[in-house]
Amino acid sequence: MSEKVLILLCAMPDAATAARIAELAIGRRLAACVNIQAPSRSVYRWQGKVERTDEVNAVFKTTARRYPELEALICAEHPYELPEILAFEPHSGLEAYLGWVVAETQDDNSLPDGL
């Protein structure tokens, strides 16, 4: 696999926000898939005090080439002042799945005829 696949994690304030951003990312081919996970409780320090917030985690599958645009989309659409955006390269994975992620994140102009 020549193109690097990335897994991007992002905490969202609720399922509706996660779904809206996921739909935009998929529609723009910035991610091949987004898993919106069950609500969880986050405990963190923000501006000098401990916060406790219910959030929904979204897991985006993308490529290193599409990452800058995906990051920009999340920053533009996310309601938090400082959204959590963490991207990781998987150590390994099913080659066919990784190839699917790459194929699904191609620009529409770069797709082979018939796709």
Buried b (16+ CB within 10 A) or exposed e, 67-103: bebbbebbeeebebeebbbeeeeeeeeeeeebeebbe
Question: Per residue in 11-55, pLDDT tens?
Answer: 999 999 999 999 999 999 999 999 999 999 999 999 999 999 999
**DSSP SS3 for 5:** strand
pLDDT category of residue 110 using cuts at 50, 70 and 90:
low
Question: The CATH number of the domain where 87 resides is what?
Answer: 3.30.70.120
In a domain, 3, yes or no: no
The band of 1, judged by pLDDT with boundaries at 50, 70 and 90, is: low
- Inter-residue contact 32 to 93 (CB < 8 Å): no
Looking at the domain assignment, is residue 2 inside a domain? no
pLDDT band at 103 (very low <50, low <70, confident <90, very high): very high
- Number of domains making up the chain: 1
Residue 31's CB is within 10 A of a number of other CB atoms, namely: 27
Residue 65 lies in a domain: yes
Domain of 74 in residue numbering reads as 11-105
| pLDDT tens digits, 74-92 | 999 999 999 999 999 999 9
Query: Which one-letter amino acid corresponds to residue 65?
Result: R
pLDDT at 115: 42
The C-alpha atoms of residue 12 and residue 21 are separated, in whole angstroms, by 9
DSSP H stretches of helix in the chain:
15-27, 67-77, 95-104
Dihedral of CA atoms 47, 49, 52, 58 in degrees, nearest 10, equals 20
pTM: 0.91
- With respect to residue 33, please indicate whether it lies within any of the assigned structural domains: yes
